[in-house]
Every structure is written in C-alpha cells, then in structure tokens.
A and B are shown apart, each in its own frame.
Chain A
Amino acid sequence: MKRARHKNVWTGKAGRMACVASLLSGALLSTPAADAQERPQRIVSMNLCTDELLIRLVDPSRIASVTYLSQQAVNAPLGLGDITSKLKVNHGLAEEVLMSKPDLVLAGTFSATAASAMVERQGVKVIRFDPENNFDDMRANIRKMGAAVGEPARAERLIADFDQRLADLQAQIPPGEPPVFADIGVNNYVAGSDTLYAYVVHAGGYRTLGEALGFSGYRNVSLEEILKTKPGLISTYTPWTDPPSVSTMALRHPALRAMVERTPQVKIPERYTTCGAPSVLGAIELLVEARKASQRAKP
C-alpha cells in the first residue's frame, strides 16, 4: 500500500495527470508565443543524472534526447521507465547532439566534457551540473534545472514531494543505533562516509560498511577486512553476472557466501544510488523495509 502511494506521487497516472494539469495552467497564463521564445523546446541531456531531473521537470515533447544509458533496464530511473523508453537517445557524441539542433544542452561537469565543449563552441547553450554528493546538492540541482528549463514551480514541487516522502519514510525507522549495511560492490568496492551513497543509507536507517571501517569516499577493501565485520544487512547484488567476469565471480568467494547466508539480504538496483535524484527514494524505501523486518524478527 505504501509502495502504491509512493508510486502515485512520482509516476502513477494520477501524479502525471496532476503535473500535466499544472503545466497547462501555467502555460495558459503566458502566451504560447512568449513561451516558445523563453523556454527551451529542444533540450538534450548528455548525462544519466541530468536525464532523470529533466524527465521529471519538463513535458516529454520538449526533450530532444536523453542518454542511451537511461534506456538500459539497469539504469531505469525510479518509475519513469514508460516515459524514458519513448524518448530519443544520444551517446554523448558532439555530432549527434548538434544534428538534433538543440536549444539547450544539459551535461555533467565531468562527463563527455570534450563533446559538450564542442557543442558550446557551435553556439548552443550548455548548462553543466555538478554530481550530487548529498540531498542538498540534489535540491540545488533540481532548482538550477528548473530555472534552466523554465519550470521553477515544478522544481519546487518536486523538492517538496521528495521531502514529504523522505519524512514519511524516516518516521517509519525503528528507534535504536543504526546497524551496518554491507553493500559489497564488484571488486569489493565499498562506500565510506560523506558520499551520496552514505546519505542514502543513513536515510534508510543504516550506516555503510565503509563508515564502520572508518574511511570517507569510496574504496576497494580487502576480503579480509570485510570478513571481520558483522553487518546487520548485506548485499552482493550486481546485475553484471551474465556474461561472467573475474570481478563479479569474486563475489562468489565461499567465505563471503557464508557471510551472506547468515545475514539478512537486500537487493538495491544500482540506479537508485547512482544519482542524487528522486530515484534514491527507491533505495531508501527498500532499506527502511529491511530495517522494519529486522525489528520484527527480534524476539
């Protein structure tokens, strides 16, 4: 039920209808001609994370293309699969972006830098977004995007809805010291403190394995270090097991498997923690559910 309501807020038909309705009422206030002049109508996003914010803030008809990544099943933003699959895509190449004659290009500060610079030299407006390291960064980026695409009101509502849902979820977390959530990535890649991932995990009522081991940022840790910890929740899930690779097969080490088997598990789609965007609610929801389940399991 909770899940259904959540979907409503972000993606359900009712939610989208409401968005469209507000867009229409906004459009009615200004003349259509002025609208076409002021607001970009052929927007290209060259970054996975700007893809999601763009799709949530503007009508699909104004999106010229998003990255091909957003159309991959593993990268589908929370609840936006239907819309994303109908959009045109780009591969971060200057040539294809220019050919789509965009009036605004959104890019990441660190991704496809050569391509976005080239697009800029051709006189196209490029706006770059820093990666989000926490929820405040995310709110700032949503506002920045809202201003860039001429949808400040929708940006504010997106933030308010996010904060509302976040508060709902936080209220459900059982009291007590947050247990350790060991999300062991490929090559034992683990998140420490002061990362977007850590803030997502905190919002879900846990702390990260890297914080328990005492480092900030991301690191590859040795298997020995991992085996010494006693996490309350664990994940070794990766979508990249077929075809196999040495790195993903390492997650099947017998000692690690034994640890996984005696610990409650969770599967969080990678995409829910890649970007500081409302998709993180998908991860937080799964973590809060796991926390509640472990509370129930206690005698």
Chain B
Amino acid sequence: MKTPIPYPALIGLLALLMAALAFVSMLVGPAAAGTFDLLKMMSDGDADTAWMIMREVRLPRTLLALLEGITLGLGGAVLQGLLRNPLADPAVIGVSAGASLFAVLALYTGASLAFPLALPIAAIVGALLCVLLLLGLAGRGGMLTLILAGVAVSQLANAVSYLTLNLSPNPYASAEIVFWLMGSVTDRSLDHVWLAGPLMIIGWVMILSTARSLDALSLGEEAAAGLGVNVGQTRLLVVVGVAISCGAGTAVTGGIGFVGLVVPHLLRGLVGHSPSRLLLASALGGGCLLLVADLAVRLIAVNRGELQLGVITALIGAPFFLWLIFKARAEYES
C-alpha cells in the first residue's frame, strides 16, 4: 500500500521529535516554580542546585513520561493488531484498571513494602488477570463481547480500587483515586524509573518480537496458521508483554487513558496499515504524546498542585479521535 511518507523517514522523524520533546521537557519547569528559572540559576552561580533539580526531579519525570508513552502506544497498537479490533487499548479493555487495582491493594495495605519489586509485580499480576479474563471471553463472543467485557472489567476493577482507597485509614488515600484513575509523573524519582523501566523494556521486547506474526494475523487466524505462524505463542507473547509493560508503568504513573487508543489510529495511515510497522511508529508516537501532555500539565498552573496527565491526554485525544471517526465515516460513505 502506498504511504505518504517512507517508513524509515517516518520513524526517523518521530524519534527526532521525541528526542526534541524530551530535551524541552528537561528545560521547562512547573509554571508556579518559574518556567525557565533553572537556566537563570545556572548562570547566576547556583548551578549545583539547578543540576540537582534537573537530575532528581526533571529527569525522572521526563523518562517516565517517555517510557509510559511508549508502553501505551505500543500496547494499543499490538492489541488492536492482535484482536483486529480498533477499540482495543490497555485502558479500554481494562488492563490499566486491573493493574491499578492490584497496585492499590499492594500499596495501601503496606504489602508493597515487603520487597522493592512488590508493587510493580502486583500491578503486572492484575494486568495479566484482566487480559486473560478478556481473552477467555473474547474467544467465544467476538469483537463486541471483548469491548463490552472490557468495560465491565474496568468498572469492576475501578470500583474495588475506590472501595479499597475509601476503606484505608490513611486520610489521604481517598484523594488519590484521582491519581490511580488519571495518572501523573509529577515529582516522581529515579527510584520509580528503576522500579518500572527495566520491566517495561522486557514487555516491549516481547511485543516487538511478534511483529511479523501480526502481519500474517491480519489475514485471519487460519490464514496465519497456514503461513506457519504459531498463533498461540504470538498471543501469549502479546498478552504477557502488554501485562508486564503496562502493569509496571501503571504501578508508578497511575492509569493514563487515551494514548493507547488514539496514537495507533493517528499513525495507521502513515505506515500503510501494516500492523508490524505500526508497532514502532505507535511506540514513538505515544512517547511524543505523553511528553507533550506532561509539558501542558506543567504550563497550565492550577492553584492546588498540578493537573493529572490523563486529563490532558483526554483533552487532546478525544477531539482528535472524534475528528478521525467523522473523517473515516465520510470516506466510507462517499
């Protein structure tokens, strides 16, 4: 299929854009703290403090936005490819909610303090349970069942999360519903990056290894099997890869919606509707979108702390998504 831009050029551009956004993200501070104050501090002689803030505050938030953006973009693209369903996305089908629920259970009971990786592992287990449940349901019912089941599982997981937070004797727990629902990378530390980053990368590798099988699967499962694709193994790699990367991400950033849903749709036309090519493009696109969203979070000053990331991704994502739907309908009808 003809594409408006050669694939290597597209990937190069997206990578360049992501690097540029990451660089800007290191320079821009929260509006309340003075957006470009650090640069002034460096020239004014308090360079030690300025470097410390860059290293300890801005680097982790930039890295986490980037890693989580890649994870969500990749997760959305691979789920849409595997399930051949344009609505599949870690947030829509309940993976994020499942991960959040188990992270909430681990964190607010104190179980996460047992050993360093307890929190991300709990979230991964939650994500895995959700995906397996959905795959079981989807196997029988088809596309609509999958989405409906995803909505049900999401709501159930969210409800139990709220319940857990409301029952916590810690007075701050209830207010953190917003964090687990909308996500944030504000004031996270490098500890969080080390906790989730390596696991996310393991998930990415598993997902990317299925690229060629996904192309074959776009012809249908039987055709793919005929082409020598091990469908069961592909499915397993995707499910576990998505669970590990999204689970680990959700454990430290909370649940961030819309990125995994929107980004693949934005880029699908540009990669010629090839599921395998969409993976890398969508990963980089997700990284870009989340970096932009986190910059917006910093620049929009609100009185009580900062907005949550999910607010911005939905504000950017939803209108764009509507536009895509209407465009697609117009093309279909014409």
* Bound complex: CA A80 to CA B109 (Å): 33
Number of A-B contacts (CB under 8 A): 88
Chain A residue nearest to B179 in the complex (CB) = A246
Q: Which of B120-128, B186-194, B277-285 is the interface stretch?
A: B186-194
Q: List the A residue with the shortest CB-CB distance to B103.
A: A246
Question: Which residues of A212-271 are within 8 A (CB) of B?
Answer: 219-225, 227-228, 240, 242-248, 250, 253-255, 258
**Chain B contact residues, majority secondary structure:** helix
Interface members, chain B 45-71 (any A CB < 8 Å): 49, 52-53, 56-58
In the complex formed, the residue of A with least CB distance to B31 is A222
A224 and B189 contacting across the interface, CB-CB below 8 Å: no
- Report B-chain residues with C-beta under 8 Å of the C-beta of A248: 170, 172
Q: Does A188 contact B (CB under 8 A)?
A: yes
- A240: chain B residues at CB < 8 Å are 170-172
Question: From residue A146, how far is it (CB to closest CB) to chain B in Å?
Answer: 32
Q: Answer whether A243 and B304 are a contact pair too, CB < 8 Å, given A223-B57, A228-B37, A254-B190.
A: no
Q: Does A186 sit at the interface, judged by CB under 8 A?
A: yes
A187 within 8 A of B: yes
Q: Are B168 and A253 in contact (CB under 8 A)?
A: no
Given A219-B303, A228-B37: A244 and B113 interface contact (C-beta under 8 Å): yes
CA–CA, A115 and B186, complex, Å: 39
Whether B57 lies near A245 (C-beta < 8 A) is no
Hey, what's the 0/1 contact readout for B303-314 against A, CB within 8 Å counting as 1? 111100000000
- Which B residues lie within 8 Å of A228 (CB)? 33, 37, 41, 49, 53
Of B41, B57, B303, chain A has the most CB atoms within 10 Å of the CB of B57
Q: Contact: A254 with B172, CB < 8 Å?
A: no
A245 to B29, CA, bound (A): 26
Closest to A227 in B: B53
Distance of A255 Cα from B192 Cα, bound (Å): 13
Is B306 within 8 A of A222, CB to CB? yes
A228 and chain B: residue at smallest CB distance: B49
Scoring B110, B176, B189 by chain A CB atoms within 10 A of each residue's CB, the highest score goes to B189
Name the A residues within 8 Å of B6 (CB-CB). none
- Chain B contacts of A245 at CB under 8 A? 107-108, 168, 170, 172-173, 176
Q: 5 A-B residue contacts at CB 8 Å?
A: A186-B172, A187-B172, A222-B32, A224-B29, A253-B56
The 3 closest A-B pairs by CB, nearest first: A255-B56, A220-B305, A247-B172
